[in-house]
Structure 1
Amino acid sequence: MTKLQTEKKKPDNGKTKARTARKPPARTPARAEAAEAAHEPLRIGSKLKHARRLQGYTLKELADIVDCSESMLSKLENDKLTSSIVFLHRLAHALGTSIAELYSEENDLSGPVHVFHADRRAHSVADPDSPDGGARFERIVPVDRNGLLQALMHSIPPGGRSGGTVSHAGEELGYIIEGEVEVTVDGKSYVVRQGDLIFFPSSLPHGYYNRGDKMARMLKVNTPPSL
């Protein structure tokens, strides 16, 4: 027999400690449920209906103003259809409100300083304007009705683009965290890559296009809140 076969195990006298893999702390059902809920886009149908009624419009009257069908508006108000960002801008303007107000949440923002930890899951807004439907805005800072600033993480898949241009009051900047984005402002295109920053008046028509071959992520900050 070989030495390896005849060698006996030394008895464990307690000095040898077994190595055990450390397991990450399990999420409680409440935390898991909260994270999943935060990841889902917010439903705004009831707010659209409330804003329409405040303006005194019937479905047909509002449909004529924004150039769409009554059926489409009804589906939006009942959360059976998701609007494109471009159309939602037009709809919010007709209702005397903003996308930010429609997506606003009840948040405790009392006090001058707010810390949002890394494990916080922000609410997201899908952008159906993107041809593949994969573009997404993730709200970093909750909307404050009295706030002046809005911060979003814009994730754009390869080939993703806005379905058109939008314009609204204010100013905005975009900082490219990764990838490459072609931003069109007032008919002129600007290519911005990782580490680049673009700033422009929001009143100029603007849109985006991911011309790269990987996901692009852009930190968007604008004032006043619009999305």
Structure 2
Amino acid sequence: MKIGDRLRELRQRRKLSVRAVALRSGVSHSSISLVERDLISPSLDTLHAILDALGTTLSGFFLDFHAVSPPNPFCRAAEMVEIGRADAISYRVIGTGFPSRSMLMLHETYAPGADTGEAFFHSAQEGGLVIRGAVEVTVAGRTATLQPGDGYYFDSREPHRFRNVADEPSEIVSAITPPTY
């Protein structure tokens, strides 16, 4: 289902005319009509105003929107999006097609000697499990070398860094919530 179809369905379910939604939202009736016919894409502000006039929120709209046709729960290796530096550190995102993700799930691969560099921080929590190699993890000045089967979990607002200390590639499966990395 497209955004326009979903908006029209919400408006009709509430037995409102395009003009009534226009009056409530401050968006012109012609713009609402064009959006409903998927002839234009609304800005975030416009969509918010229309949804507010229909008595729903952006998050509620998109949760319901995707509830109509649930996303594929499976992610093949070839479908994972690369967001890292594939030559030294590879971050492959698991589940990029899932709407409104509340966590970032990664398959991380570190080449021998690869290092994330200076300690960094962001507003989240993260955890992971080493599945191959040996990774030195430093969090807020505390350092440990983790082997396969070892894991970590920390507040990402603490400065942290990762370094492969093995002579082979090291791998981690990790999760970050909210997805702020």
1:69-102 residue CA offsets vs partner (Å, 9 max, x unmatched): xxxxxxxxxxxxxxxxxxxxxxxxxxxxxxxxxx
Paired residues of 1:180 and 1:194 also in contact (CA < 8 A): yes
Matched, 1:182 2:136: yes
User: Residue 80 of structure 2: which of 122, 129, 136 is its match?
Assistant: 122
C-alpha distance 119-152 of structure 1, shift in aligned 2 (>3 A): closer
Provide the rounded CA distance (Å) in 2 between the counterparts of 1:126 and 1:119. 15
Letter in 1 for 2:176: N
Provide the rounded CA distance (Å) in 2 between the counterparts of 1:225 and 1:143. 14
2:100 corresponding residue in structure 1: 146
Residue identity (%) = 25
1:24 corresponding residue in structure 2: none
1:195 corresponding residue in structure 2: 149
Rg larger for:
1
1:155 corresponding residue in structure 2: 109
Provide the rounded CA distance (Å) in 1 between the counterparts of 2:168 and 2:134. 8
Pairwise CA distance, 1:190 = 1.2
Determine which structure has the larger strand proportion and give its number: 2
Pairwise CA distance, 1:192 = 0.9
1:40 corresponding residue in structure 2: none
Provide the rounded CA distance (Å) in 2 between the counterparts of 1:126 and 1:145. 22
Question: Which ranges of 4 or more aligned residues in structure 1 deviate by more than 6 Å?
Answer: none
Matched, 1:110 2:66: yes
Paired residues of 1:143 and 1:150 also in contact (CA < 8 A): no
Secondary structure of residue in 2 paired with 1:126? coil
TM-score by length of 1: 0.46
The count of residues paired between Structure 1 and Structure 2 equals 115
1:19-65 residue CA offsets vs partner (Å, 9 max, x unmatched): xxxxxxxxxxxxxxxxxxxxxxxxxxxxxxxxxxxxxxxxxxxxxxx
Provide the rounded CA distance (Å) in 2 between the counterparts of 1:204 and 1:174. 16
TM-score by length of 2: 0.57
Letter in 2 for 1:110: H
1:143-173 residue CA offsets vs partner (Å, 9 max, x unmatched): 7673211101110011110121111112100
Unaligned runs of 5+ in 1: 1-108
C-alpha distance 157-169 of structure 1, shift in aligned 2 (>3 A): same
C-alpha distance 195-143 of structure 1, shift in aligned 2 (>3 A): same
Secondary structure of residue in 2 paired with 1:173? strand
Provide the rounded CA distance (Å) in 1 between the counterparts of 2:92 and 2:66. 22
User: Residue 169 of structure 1: which of 111, 123, 127 is its match?
Assistant: 123
Pairwise CA distance, 1:174 = 1.2
